[in-house]
Structure 1
């Protein structure tokens, strides 16, 4: 049985979260009301996973994650308020080693979280399968545009990048290593709820040479521009011409239990984009992206998957590799270089 430590400064929230987990077959080994208690509880009880609030007295969730990863590395699932500040804090916690997050519906003290009990249990169980050798250590801060190519680039290249659990940090690394003169059109599908995708896009924009925004229905992007699929919407390539991609958002049924889905974007890109196309699948739980990789390979596009050793969760890349349609399987820090290789004019 999975054993968890539940951390929240609200007694009400600790009780509700613990009840949800216990009902879902997860044993709650201990509760903690702040980050300091959390660190001590993890050391004492050696749980399989920790659910961690962000805003707490004495030691907040971000500081607690950093301390846990340094002393008793344990998968941590952040429970974050659905606000801009909550989103920013969540990304910082993911940088420190947290493996995933779940947005609290209704704010810090949420009476609505019980209706999301299945999602919470699923996130907790998936977090236990995270490889902490990849998420518990920080890569050196990447410098944007650090990879150079030995050749010129083809005209009007497009790359579609898909990721889930553990993805934000890897997507950031990949995009920050792509030089602006590659003139890529970049479509990013990261499994993430609405509100968080806007902040994620802003973060990528600050840390890369590309102009990155959250996708909006009907928008067009050209070379040197990137879009992040908006949480709660599938992102389709609705049209392509003159090197510019037209985006369409829809609220069709979730695919593989998620919306946005990687497959939707990759399949539509394969149908519409007539210039060089590269598909990339990164760390994450599930099989989303496998069909999309097949579609891109089917139109003579290039395909790349992150390797198991550097994945937080080797689900999405593994399912894509099983299709036989992945050209290259590489560590996270070599993905950007391989993207550039696929678009070299004389490669």
Structure 2
């Protein structure tokens, strides 16, 4: 069966949610081969039907979604989309699920669930189809590398180490991206003195927790961006969910940013294109744009602007991307300097900065 009509298993302890999710997926061209009522039942059902994708509730009695993800990835690796509560606690557990091998997550609405969930049907179907196409065959290797990244990073073995005035690095990512972004930022040594901005497609309840995780995993001081924030060398900002992040000024080794409510681009806000275009117009000195795994085309126009401004562009390769959508579209623009495995992106960034300051 082609990826355009993936086969899915829906795991949720609520009969109402199982029915509603199944109906929405079927209406959107996804074949629901079976449903399961808890994590243990979900594991058994996945092993029996070998689906292309699983939607997995996090909060379930007995065996919860977190344990089910771990068992599925150990016994029969399958692309999994987590269904998470739109809360800070839900964010923490969701990131744990991503560490254990889930590809992405979708937030359940609160309040009048049936009404609000129906309005999100198109988003859900698109995300399920994207996750169904993810390559999880090397999931254990990627997760092991992600855990190692929590140790203090070491400087690149290939870059010259001459960074002088540092540089600016803009990272764009979506589906499958959080663990890759974490590994990239953790692989950049503090003495490179970079200014880093991360645009990860993620709801507002999650970007603050994501910034905290990057801060803990790396030598950089990482925080969720606020309107008017300034960053210098050794600092990083994560664009908050629901806002575009614009680089509004640069001077004295610092960047000034602002947040806007301008319309979404490519159906997302924050959009990396907005941040990258503004940086290309504003930033002096070494500038590197990085497009990592994700569905859609966000980042492609942004890196074209960075290239036109004389910056360096890196795209993650297909083999290491969970979803080779955003990197592929960037490569098709003809402005990508390096196509690298996710694990090699930190060295690629350092090499690019070194080359630019020594040019």
Q: TM-score scaled to structure 2, two decimals? A: 0.93
Residue 193 (structure 1) aligns with: 203
- Partner of 1:343: helix, strand, or coil? helix
The structure-2 alpha-carbon separation of the partners of 1:166 and 1:19, relative to structure 1 and needing over 3 Å to count, comes to same
What's the C-alpha RMSD, in Å, of the aligned pairs?
Answer: 1.6
Contact 1:163 1:282 in 2 (8 A): yes
**In the alignment, what sits opposite 1:325?**
335
Counterpart in the other structure of 1:31: 35
State the aligned residue count: 347
Measured against aligned partners, the alpha-carbon deviations of 1:246-303 in whole angstroms (never above 9, x if no partner) come to 1111111110111111110001000000121111110111111111111111111111
- Structure 2: give runs of 5+ residues left out of the alignment: none
The equivalent residue for 1:146 is 154
The residue aligned with 1:117 is 121
Instruction: Give yes or no for contact 2:160–2:351 (8 Å, CA) kept in 1.
Output: no
Residue matched to 2:275: 265
Cα distance in 2 for residues equivalent to 1:186 and 1:134: 28
Q: 1:173 and 1:145, CA in 2 relative to 1: closer, same or farther beyond 3 A? A: same
Q: Which position in structure 1 is the counterpart of 2:221? A: 211
Would you identify which runs of 4 or more consecutive aligned residues in structure 1 move more than 4 Å? 107-111
Partner SS state of residue 55, structure 1: coil
Q: Do 2:80 and 2:102's aligned partners in 1 also have CA atoms closer than 8 Å?
A: yes
- Measured at CA, do residues 151 and 136 of structure 1 come closer, stay the same or move farther in structure 2, by a change above 3 Å? closer
Deviates more, 1:101-110 or 1:20-29: 101-110
CA–CA distance in structure 2, aligned partners of residues 27 and 335 of structure 1: 37
Moved more, 198-207 or 139-148: 139-148
Is 1:73 matched with 2:77?
A: yes
Hey, what's the Cα distance between the residues in 2 that align with 1:111 and 1:40? 31
CA deviations on 1:43-74 (whole Å, 9 max, x unpaired) are 11111111000111121111111111111111
1:178 corresponds to which of 188, 197, 222: 188
- Aligned-residue offset at 1:156: 3.8
* Counterparts of 1:9 and 1:291, CA distance in 2: 42
Which position in structure 2 is the counterpart of 1:243?
253
User: How far did 1:339 drift?
Assistant: 0.6
1:297 and 2:307 aligned: yes
Name the counterpart of 2:130. Answer: 126
Query: Does the CA-based 8 Å contact 2:161-2:192 persist in structure 1?
Result: no
